[in-house]
Structure 1
């Protein structure tokens, strides 16, 4: 008989319990199935509600009730797809009025056939979709390994070869680290499942039931040491938040890393039928902007634009807004060319704001991306980017896409956003949020956010992926009433009017060490603030009074 101690199973659970899990299949049909105390908290006011939200509701009630918006703002959501059929998004989806649906022609001559609601840059002409991709550092390692695998040092290399050799070494190190990590993680998860199976089997035999519930486990009363140990171990796990669904999600994520993201033999891009490193090769993809895995993008779109005040579910931040959907993010790392073309599509087709809730730490075709970011910057488009969920200081590491270009210049109409929670305490800053006194502009609600999920569902999640859309929503709200503002003026208003916490001390983000340091919240971003719609509208009104 296998014997496992209660302490060993708890230690293993806690060691894997910090693994971020992002499920593509979750969602509930009614809001009541979620923890409703978090419903719409990101719209609440620090002053009126004593909740550290973006004060959106206060703005609507006190500043906008007798005013009408003057421009419908278009927000391009560059993501993994959006369920444009969700009831909460009806009337909020951008439509290309220059295109005739279903006629198989490029009516507006923009290079995309039947692009009614946007474009899918990770599909093909047959209507198929790219689901998984390598991580960028894996793609770089595969590309450069034939050239540098036998090179010991920089001696004899040209300046350009030295640059590429440094990139190669960095990608090789990262690949080897991640491969070791996820190989070990898979073993840990398999061992953990074995522990759980053993304890559950002991209790099933004792209770003479094939399926046991938490209540069944609690009801066990016995003098058997083995049965008592099984009961205590499972109850300890339940109390720590363990669910079988979470375990299955973590196992799937580890398997996905080994089978797809880190697999050197995996090359899915051929399915898309393009050259991913040729910026001139633009005629690919399809018009299915939902795609097969639209969980993340639908959640993002819901934060920005879900119907307000209908009593059915969540309230989006912005009311007079449309979502343009651009699908570029697979499971794995996005390609620079896809992102660049999506940015250009958004600019050329009338987007006012571009929301980008994705990012990566490597880029070998950065020039393609930089040119597109510069293009949007030159066309009065406000770009809003989520800071990332690795608890990294972005002042010390590169992160793509970025407002900082390869030549060191900075595109001004760009906002990078970290994540905060609803209560002003030591846990105010999201434990996972990236930060940076220079390279993160401000924070926004991003912990315990309830939003939309595909197929008419809802879900709760954490991430800077969801704080970025709060800022996009606030920007769209302000712009809809003050369309005369330039993108740079709007950015300055959002930053300067953010709620400041000059004395607040919080735990610094850290997902690696259980002992987190306390720092001043004001040191974690350029502004030390959290976006505030009420304050932003007041500031815009002073700059440009609305009739």
Structure 2
């Protein structure tokens, strides 16, 4: 027997601050993109003319041969296979470890490679491929009483495709301007200008770009790159003793070094994503959805993709720095329990591209977007007419919202700009909006942030039955909406949540929770002397 419970807190004008105590693979193809000089003068509040746009076709989203001197862990053969041939990810049961496997360690050539999450007990092991195949080793380990689960170290790739070029950043403001000879539809955008009246983001909000690298020297990005307090660049010392030497702007988990930007072609994808999120308003180039935020570059994707353990390490790095939102424009591999567990425990909102196979991922799941976790916001891509991109995955259950993802103009390395298509390009629009919402509501939990993004969308008939919200993300509504004051309320998915009310701007908070018969639900209210408040329970 389960019942739904909604709690509404009502507060009179006597209250100023009242505290309530109380989440199929898609390895995207990389094809040549089309780029075009963008010299047209645009509204300066939306986009500054691009000062340097690539004039020839180039592959924005693939690797480069320039890094041959720095060998990554993933081989071309691994990339084709979909996982690293001699590595497995294992979660041991409580009080169990590698030694608990006994003779299997020696027989299978098992040895510890690295500990990915000490608290969750997740590790990467290596094994002797001359002794066992991947299938055999997984069968043995998953049958062991010491192991909770064992799985391959899957490989992920950027969720981007390259389509025709476009002239304007229509995703921020669509006036019906012509894009590649066809008129857009006025209002099919994220309503950025309305949001910017209230906030353009905060420098105290750091967004993790978990991707390829980011050109931290790009004129539109350099002033918004996250810098780690207390870390001294180039001294060769792990100043804060976190295991990463000189991690001033983030870390490269593919090559395991501090070089978050190295190559013009290899790091184009992450740079394009970063520009859509947070390109600075500086009278040059483009502008991001949240032009005042800080970008943390966490590379885990190399020329041949990125691995599960690299993704896990990046997510945990962001968690250790208190990052509340991350952009994840990548996917591939099968269901990974380890990745699921780490995303769930990340204490952040995980923005995930749905993928570019044109599939319904309710029926053919694409991960990580299709993980059933309350802190994942997955998204589809639309064009400037409001139609779902013909490449975009969708799903009324596993895809939450839609965002501009066709012909998106953004930054690429070496002071340049280019257009790109894909759910990779849609994701940073949502991440940018999430950053604006956090700037306006810094105490928001991941549940509140997700509810806000989903309940403030612009409803489009083209998205009915395609995404759970049925709508296009709307920045203006999201930063101004009092989502947590509406019935049926913000879903409570964790063990507890706290919030602050305000007599003028936030008089009510509503939460909903499913309880099994016999479970207890506790609410504590506190305020200054003379505080007046009311607690209502429904159902």
TM-score band w.r.t. shorter chain: 0.5 to 0.7
The aligned counterpart of 1:391 is 358
Instruction: Please state if 1:526 is matched with 2:486.
Output: no
Decide which of 333, 355, 360 is 2:332's aligned counterpart: 360
Instruction: Please state if 1:328 is matched with 2:300.
Output: yes
Contact 1:317 1:470 (C-alpha < 8 Å) held by counterparts: yes
Contact 1:51 1:422 (C-alpha < 8 Å) held by counterparts: no
Instruction: Compute the displacement of 1:37 (Å).
Output: 6.3
Decide which of 316, 334, 346 is 1:344's aligned counterpart: 316
Instruction: Please state if 1:415 is matched with 2:382.
Output: no
Instruction: Please state if 1:39 is matched with 2:175.
Output: no
1:70-108 per-residue CA deviation (whole Å, 9 max, x = no partner) reads 662110001111101000012210011131211111111
Instruction: Compute the displacement of 1:400 (Å).
Output: 2.1
1:368-407 per-residue CA deviation (whole Å, 9 max, x = no partner) reads 312211221xx2x111000111111100123222462xxx
The aligned counterpart of 1:373 is 343
User: Secondary structure of the equivalent of 1:468?
Assistant: helix
Q: Separation in 2 of the partners of 1:68 and 1:359?
A: 29
State which structure, 1 or 2, has the greater radius of gyration over its C-alpha atoms.
1
Name the CA shift for 1:307/1:71 in 2 (closer, same or farther; >3 Å).
Answer: closer
Comparing 352-361 with 41-50, greater Cα deviation is found at 41-50
1:277-303 per-residue CA deviation (whole Å, 9 max, x = no partner) reads xxxxxxxx0000013211000000000
Query: How does 1:50-199 map onto structure 2 within 5 Å?
Result: 50-60=186-196, 63-64=197-198, 72-123=204-255
Name the CA shift for 1:122/1:36 in 2 (closer, same or farther; >3 Å).
Answer: closer
The aligned counterpart of 2:131 is none
For structure 1, the 5+ residue unaligned runs are 1-18, 124-284, 405-409, 506-520
Considering fraction of residues, name the structure with more helix. Answer: 1
Instruction: Please state if 1:313 is matched with 2:292.
Output: no
Name the CA shift for 1:109/1:25 in 2 (closer, same or farther; >3 Å).
Answer: farther
User: Secondary structure of the equivalent of 2:235?
Assistant: coil
Name the CA shift for 1:58/1:336 in 2 (closer, same or farther; >3 Å).
Answer: same
For structure 2, the 5+ residue unaligned runs are 1-27, 38-49, 56-163, 178-184, 486-500, 507-539
Contact 2:330 2:355 (C-alpha < 8 Å) held by counterparts: yes
Contact 1:314 1:452 (C-alpha < 8 Å) held by counterparts: yes
The aligned counterpart of 1:235 is none
User: Secondary structure of the equivalent of 1:351?
Assistant: coil
The aligned counterpart of 1:304 is 277
The aligned counterpart of 2:259 is 288
Considering fraction of residues, name the structure with more strand. Answer: 2
Contact 2:362 2:370 (C-alpha < 8 Å) held by counterparts: no
Contact 1:343 1:373 (C-alpha < 8 Å) held by counterparts: yes
Q: Separation in 2 of the partners of 1:352 and 1:359?
A: 21
Instruction: Compute the displacement of 1:418 (Å).
Output: 0.5
Q: CA RMSD, aligned part only?
A: 2.8
Q: Separation in 2 of the partners of 1:448 and 1:375?
A: 34
Q: Separation in 2 of the partners of 1:358 and 1:315?
A: 23
Instruction: Compute the displacement of 1:42 (Å).
Output: 1.0
Q: Separation in 2 of the partners of 1:393 and 1:326?
A: 29
Give the TM-score, by structure 2 length: 0.58
Name the CA shift for 1:27/1:92 in 2 (closer, same or farther; >3 Å).
Answer: farther
Name the CA shift for 1:289/1:358 in 2 (closer, same or farther; >3 Å).
Answer: same
Name the CA shift for 1:111/1:546 in 2 (closer, same or farther; >3 Å).
Answer: farther
Q: Separation in 2 of the partners of 1:68 and 1:546?
A: 19
Q: Separation in 1 of the partners of 2:30 and 2:316?
A: 31
Comparing 22-31 with 88-97, greater Cα deviation is found at 22-31
Contact 1:51 1:423 (C-alpha < 8 Å) held by counterparts: no
Decide which of 455, 467, 470 is 2:414's aligned counterpart: 455
User: Secondary structure of the equivalent of 1:475?
Assistant: helix
Query: How does 1:235-250 map onto structure 2 within 5 Å?
Result: none
Query: How does 1:15-26 map onto structure 2 within 5 Å?
Result: 21-23=30-32
Q: Separation in 1 of the partners of 2:384 and 2:235?
A: 48
Contact 1:450 1:458 (C-alpha < 8 Å) held by counterparts: yes
Give the TM-score, by structure 1 length: 0.57
Q: Separation in 2 of the partners of 1:32 and 1:300?
A: 16
